[in-house]
Amino acid sequence: MIRNPIPWPNGAKCAVAFTFDVDADSTCHINWLDQVDDHVASVSLMRYGPEIGVPRLIDMFAAADVPLTFFVPGWVAENYPETMRMMVESGAEIGHHGYLHDDPNKQSPEAERETMKRGLEILESFTGKKPVGYRSPTHANSRHTLDLLVEHGFLYESSLLGDDIPYEMDNGKGRVIEIPCAHGLDDWPNYMVWRDFNYFQSPKAPSDAYRLYKDEFDAAYRYGGMWMSVWHPLVSGRLARAHWIGELVEYMKGHEGVWFCTLEEIATHVRALQASGEWTPRIDKQPWYEMPHPAIRDRLPKAAE
């Protein structure tokens, strides 16, 4: 099914990366500004992530000997230093996830540039190492994001949805590996129900979400793909959901040849394959079109003369 399958290390049949975005209450502050004090319950819900979810997940995954990747907004690192230290000490990879979970598409190019720099500096002050990976808040990559990633020498990005396996984005000045997300492997649509965020759906039973995640794993295993969660400690770290994560890890571990890894390890592996000539990823040149596309240019409102 995969036309140009990637050879995983040591003949593994698939790669599995558990990644969590530690957003905490950053989104509350950016959405409600000085009104955030009146959203006490919402903030408590979001604080569950760094206070309860992260320590629980770190313990669970350490016991299973499975590595973790956390994407952390700079503001969260600053305001939850103990959680940040716990994540670093656990040996997890720490990736860039903006500053205050700012949506790059709602920022000026200058503000996006500043956010990129600020997030890098804050994370490095905790880890002693420049992050090599980036995940855009709410998958909101702007037309400038790839240029900034190339400028800062990021090894990989993980917000887009353009393939089943890693590929390489090329902006004409440099390349960044994309480790793509999959719709079925986000936890927010399965579980979140909260009036303040306009989520009125019925949450899934964790055993049903487990089936969804398991189906994604079965396909990755069978066809040589990859499985990567895009989860949140405040959502998936809840008791019953965490229990079913444990069941899932056990199910995966019951299979021969599963490579449990961080995203940095996947990207480093891709680079090694390229260097040895063993495998070449698909190259995705961006921007994809001359913008605005010539077909719609004459439909755009004319500038006032």
Residues that bind Zn ion (CB under 5 A): 21, 23, 137
What stretches of 103-260 adopt beta strand conformation (E)?
A: 133-134, 156-157, 167-170, 175-178, 226-231, 258-260
Six token digits for residue 161: 């949805």
Closest distance to Zn ion from the beta carbon of 192 (Å): 12
| Residue placing its CB nearer to Zn ion in the complex, 137 or 206 | 137
| Cα atoms in the Cβ-side hemisphere of radius 13 Å centred on 37 | 1
Residue 4 CB, shortest distance to Zn ion, in Å, is 30
For strand 14-21 and strand 68-72, is the pairing parallel, antiparallel, or unpaired?
parallel
Residues whose CB falls within 8 Å of the CB of residue 223, separated by 6 or more in sequence, listed in order: 1, 2, 5, 164
Smallest distance from the beta carbon of 101 to Zn ion, in angstroms?
Answer: 6
Choice between 174 and 180, CB closer to Zn ion = 180
Asked whether the beta carbons of 9 and 276 are under 8 A apart, the reply is no
- What minimum distance in Å lies between the beta carbon of 41 and Zn ion? 20
167-170 vs 175-178, strand pairing mode: antiparallel
- Whole-angstrom Cα Rg for the chain: 20
Q: Minimum distance between the CB of residue 72 and Zn ion, rounded to whole angstroms? A: 9
| CA-based nearest residue to 98, from 170, 21, 168 | 21
CB nearer to Zn ion: pick between 188 and 251: 188
For Zn ion, the closer of residues 135 and 269 by Cβ is 135
Q: In the bound complex, what is the minimum distance in angstroms from residue 138's beta carbon to Zn ion?
A: 6
